[in-house]
């Protein structure tokens, strides 16, 4: 598929199928909230609770599609963000955002979750880009510091904690959110927050022996498992590689640090591409060890989209072509988003290519849009 044909295919799929599906069947106009799951025929699946993270991801994606001129979903984004603040923010009288609400709109889980707060910040960034106020972003950023700050660097995953582990994933999405907020506001406060997360990756998250990003750590930032047995997700290698590239674009650190970040980003990509993909299909595996031993041969949507986005970034910044990204993007659409699903997708496949789940999670749209827009803009 040529670049032009790939661009047309992605534009048509996103603008004519996926975004309309998730802003009609995927949106509950009575509550002004998004459904978490649809069946493969587009029917909403009733959930006992709606998570904050999913709402924030959908809000951000709708704002982005509107700003990109691809699909006007501004009214849905604005309505949902207003409802989010009313139903999730400080709902129990304490700082921060509750994790989920039930069918009666009352809090179902009052835990404070760092990952979810990161996506609230990310949604606020795109709201600001669309002309919204900056108040909620700064309030939430201050609450993140109040609620989650750890005594030994970084943040706690949840309050109250669900276990003793520290995770890279919420820190990654904080970096993403703060970069988006800095670009939206030019407020140096957010760039300083982003710098902390980027430097945290070099201090703790990237294991020195392998140079790879680990998923789990103990309370003192030591790898959770013995050497050679730690979980590495190739999709996150690609996601961090892309984010470090964005950090370099926006932050312009000193030359020595620039080299460290660039070398780290390149190593994450090279090892992920060499060891984290199926040699026959090119698909990105779900998990391997830091020694490159794949132990989950299933493939989910989001690692594929992170690779697509990174390939596009590399082509644009290194003077290459988008041919590899376009070819992989075509494989993605045909394998994960077949025409029969009319804008939906199969979220996860086993090693044989058979679906592992029988529903469409709303949260995947955020990843898919991140990749698809690279072909369109």
**Using CA atoms, how far apart are residues 199 and 220, in angstroms rounded to an integer?**
17
Per-residue pLDDT for 63 more than 80? yes
Task: Quote the pLDDT of residue 69.
Answer: 97
CA angle (371, 356, 274) in 5-degree steps: 50
Contact, 228 vs 291, CB < 8 A?
yes
Residue 375 binned pLDDT confidence (cut-offs 50, 70, 90):
confident
Q: pLDDT tens across 212-268, in order?
A: 999 999 999 999 999 999 999 999 999 999 999 999 999 988 888 999 999 999 999
Contact, 126 vs 67, CB < 8 A?
yes
Tokens of 226: 């013995």
Task: Quote the pLDDT of residue 319.
Answer: 80
Q: What is the per-residue DSSP string for 141-197?
A: HHHHHHHHB-TTSSB-SEES-SSS-EESHHHHHHHHHHHHHHHHH--HHHHHHHHHH
Task: Quote the pLDDT of residue 3.
Answer: 86
Q: Which residue's structure tokens are 């820190």?
A: 171
Task: Quote the pLDDT of residue 180.
Answer: 98
Task: Quote the pLDDT of residue 290.
Answer: 98
Residue 39 binned pLDDT confidence (cut-offs 50, 70, 90):
very high
DSSP type of residue 357: -
Mean pLDDT of 270-298: 97
Q: Cβ–Cβ contacts within 10 Å for residue 79, how many?
A: 17
Burial tier of 292 (Cβ tally within 10 Å: 0-12, 13-18, 19+):
middle
Per-residue pLDDT for 2 more than 90? no
Contact, 180 vs 125, CB < 8 A?
yes
State the pTM of this model. Answer: 0.98
For residue 287, the cross-strand partners are 296
Percent of the chain with pLDDT strictly greater than 90: 94
Percent of the chain with pLDDT strictly greater than 70: 100
| Of the candidates 329, 324, 327, 346, the residue with the CA atom closest to the CA atom of residue 337 | 346
Task: Quote the pLDDT of residue 252.
Answer: 87
Contact, 148 vs 112, CB < 8 A?
yes
Task: Quote the pLDDT of residue 256.
Answer: 84
Per-residue pLDDT for 207 more than 90? yes
Task: Quote the pLDDT of residue 57.
Answer: 98
Per-residue pLDDT for 43 more than 90? yes
Alpha-carbon torsion (115, 118, 120, 122), positive or negative: negative
CA separation (Å) from 95 to 10, 91, 92, 131, 132?
A: 41, 9, 8, 26, 22
User: Quick check: bond before 186 cis, omega within 30?
Assistant: no
Mean pLDDT of 70-77: 97
**Using CA atoms, how far apart are residues 11 and 70, in angstroms rounded to an integer?**
8
Least confident of 4-18, 145-159, 313-327: 313-327
Contact, 54 vs 36, CB < 8 A?
yes
3-state secondary structure 257-280: HHHHHHHHHHHHHHHHHHHCECCC
Residues in the chain: 377
Average pLDDT value over all residues in the chain: 96
Per-residue pLDDT for 291 more than 80? yes
Mean pLDDT of 100-114: 98
């Amino acid at each position: 598929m040529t670049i032009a044909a790939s661009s047309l295919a992605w534009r048509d799929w996103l603008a004519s199928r996926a975004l309309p599906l998730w802003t009609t069947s995927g949106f509950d106009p009575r509550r002004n909230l998004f459904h978490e799951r649809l069946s493969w025929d587009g029917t909403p699946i009733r959930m006992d609770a709606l998570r904050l993270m999913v709402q924030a991801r959908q809000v951000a994606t709708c704002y982005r599609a509107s700003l990109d001129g691809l699909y006007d979903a501004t009214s849905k984004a604005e309505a949902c963000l207003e409802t989010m603040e009313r139903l999730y923010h400080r709902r129990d009288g304490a700082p921060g955002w509750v994790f989920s609400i039930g069918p009666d709109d009352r809090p179902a889980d009052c835990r404070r979750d760092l990952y979810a707060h990161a996506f609230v910040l990310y949604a606020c960034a795109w709201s600001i880009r669309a002309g919204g106020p900056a108040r909620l972003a700064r309030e939430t950023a201050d609450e993140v510091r109040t609620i989650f700050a750890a005594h030994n660097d970084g943040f706690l995953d949840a309050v109250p904690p669900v276990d003793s582990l520290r995770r890279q994933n919420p820190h990654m999405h904080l970096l993403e959110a703060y970069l988006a907020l800095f670009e939206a506001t030019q407020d140096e406060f957010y760039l300083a927050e982003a710098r902390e997360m980027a430097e945290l990756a070099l201090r703790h998250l990237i294991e020195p022996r392998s140079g790879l990003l680990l998923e789990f750590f103990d309370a003192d930032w030591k790898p959770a498992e013995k050497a050679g047995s730690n979980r590495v997700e190739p999709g996150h290698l690609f996601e961090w590689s892309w984010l470090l590239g964005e950090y370099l674009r926006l932050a312009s650190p000193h030359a020595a640090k620039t080299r460290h970040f660039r070398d780290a980003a390149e190593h994450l990509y090279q090892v992920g591409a060499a060891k984290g993909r199926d040699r026959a299909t090119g698909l990105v595996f779900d998990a391997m060890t830091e020694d490159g031993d794949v132990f989950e041969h299933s493939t989910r949507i989001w690692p594929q989209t992170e690779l697509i986005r990174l390939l596009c970034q590399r082509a644009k910044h290194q003077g290459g072509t988008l041919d590899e990204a376009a070819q992989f993007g075509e494989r993605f659409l045909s394998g994960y988003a077949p025409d029969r699903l009319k804008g939906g997708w199969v979220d996860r496949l086993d090693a044989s290519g058979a679906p592992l789940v029988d529903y469409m999670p709303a949260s995947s749209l955020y990843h898919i849009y991140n990749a698809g827009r690279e072909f369109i803009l």
